[in-house]
Amino acid sequence: MFDLLVAVVAALRAGFRSRTGLIVENLALCQQLAVLRRRQLRPQLRPFDRAFWVLLSRSWPRWADALAIVKPATVVAWHRRGFARFWARKSGHLGRPPIGDELIALIQRMGRENSTWSRRRIAAELAKLGHDVDKDTVVKYLPKAPGPPRRPSLTWGTFVRMHLEGTIAIDFLTVPTVTFDILYVFFVLSLERRRVLHVNVTSHPYAAWAAQQMVEAIGLDPSVVRLIRDRDGIYGALFDVRVEHLGIRQLRIAPRSPWQNGFAERFVGTLRRELLDQVIVFGERHLLHLVRQHVRYYNEDRPHMSLDGDAPVTRAVEPKQIGKVVALPRVGGLHHRYIRRAA
């Protein structure tokens, strides 16, 4: 009964409408029927459909009464979005100036040739070539690869930062070989500039061997006064005596607290991500050759965030006027250093 009453009222209203209004209303209804007849589970509105209703809303006062497939607020939103795009295009580029195609190609080249580099690493490398590019600009042309969040140690970290000069850290890491043997990599890291002072490989670590590595790394250098290490059983009494004779005070971290030797742990992670996870080790000599190559790259070429994008061995910024950018392969082509060279 109610539907019949609505139909009668609609028919009476139609009798008083102008011919133009009836034509426009029929046009609006036909357009919506065309949308609903499309063979899809849910009718999809095309750009033409949106443009039709936006134009109709600006030219016919009673457009909202004939609209059934979407809400009137949706049509208003379409109009506002179109208005914003129109003025954005008319006003031209806003914000940071666009970078050139050559620089974009260089960013993509660095990302392609160095799969483990982050956006900060690439931005730091570009800065060494005279390109002032923000890391957020770099990420526009690279796929995002976020790593797990790190939890810094506040108390110990603050202490270490206050005593970086004259402080070294040591640690072992294990590496499996192609025959499933285990090799041990020992390194000595200077915390002042994150520089690796010494690295060596052995299949049978013991206290006397580790003590000899300390002598080879430090010698009689009086500037080294503190040593951070874990409580591994490899460091025996002979190691303690040799380090004491070198005039170095040992700071042993708490049991099962590797974050207290965070700088060494960070280098272990870097070495694994940038080298060991990418290769298969055949033996002790092979591993020593790879690790020493990476340490040379780490010290002389690799930008470090903690050093404001510089390397442990300071790299000079090369102005653009020198010449074109060329790539120097490092670690067998796994990484690269980019320099400018005159044509």
Q: What is the mean pLDDT of residues 304-314?
A: 89
CB 45 within 8 A of CB 70: yes
What's the CA angle centered on 235, arms 232 and 239, to 5 degrees? 165
Out of 46-55, 61-70, 329-338, the most confident range is 329-338
Rounded to an integer, the average pLDDT of 267-294 is 96
Give the pLDDT confidence score for residue 321 in this predicted structure: 87
Q: Flag whether pLDDT at 48 surpasses 90.
A: no
pTM for this predicted structure: 0.61
Q: What is the mean pLDDT of the chain?
A: 84
Q: Give percent helix, percent strand, percent coil of the chain, each to the nearest 5.
A: 50, 15, 35
User: Virtual CA dihedral for 46, 47, 48, 54, nearest 10 degrees?
Assistant: 120
**Strand pairing class (167-176; 226-229):** parallel
Instruction: Give the residues across from 183 on adjacent strands.
Output: 175
Tell me the CATH number for domain 154-307: 3.30.420.10
Distance CA 173, CA 132 (A): 37
DSSP conformation class of 281: B
- Write down the pLDDT at residue 207: 95
Highest-pLDDT range among 18-27, 127-136, 181-190, 212-221: 181-190
Write the DSSP assignment of 25-68 as a string of letters: HHHHHHHHHHHHTSSSSSPPPPHHHHHHHHHHHHH-TTHHHH--
User: What is the β-pairing status of strands 182-190 and 195-202?
Assistant: antiparallel
Q: Is the pLDDT of residue 146 over 60?
A: no
Residues in CB range of 181: below 8 A, 6 or more apart: 203
**pLDDT value of residue 150:** 46
3-state class of 205 per DSSP? coil
- How many percent of the chain have pLDDT more than 90? 47
Residue 167 in this model has a pLDDT that exceeds 70: yes
pLDDT score recorded for residue 157 = 55
CA–CA separation, 310 vs 316, rounded Å?
A: 9
Instruction: Tell me the C-alpha distance between 317 and 127, whole Å.
Output: 7
What pLDDT was estimated at residue 39? 58
pLDDT (tens digit, 9 = 90+) per residue, 193-245?
999 999 999 999 999 999 999 999 998 888 999 999 999 999 989 999 999 99
Mean pLDDT in residue range 124-150: 77
pLDDT score of 14: 58
Instruction: List the structure tokens of 109.
Output: 């080249």
Place of tokens 């090799």: 183
User: How much is the average pLDDT of 245-257?
Assistant: 93
pLDDT of 227: 95
Residue 286, pLDDT score: 97
pLDDT at residue 38 tops 80: no
- In the chain, domain spans: 2-91, 101-145+333-341, 154-307
Sheet holding 249-252, edge to edge: 195-202, 182-190, 167-176, 226-229, 249-252
Q: Specify the range with the lowest mean pLDDT, choosing from 28-42, 286-300, 307-321.
A: 28-42
Task: Please check the confidence at residue 9 and state whether its pLDDT lies above 60.
Answer: no
Confidence of residue 301 (pLDDT cuts 50, 70, 90): very high
Convert the pLDDT of each residue in 68-125 to its tens digit.
Answer: 777 888 888 888 887 777 777 776 655 566 788 888 889 888 888 887 888 888 999 9
Q: Could you say which DSSP state residue 338 is in? A: E
- Residue 21: other Cβ atoms inside 10 A: 15
- pLDDT of 1 higher than 60: no
What confidence score (pLDDT) does residue 261 get? 94
Distance, CA of 88 to CA of 86 (rounded, Å): 6
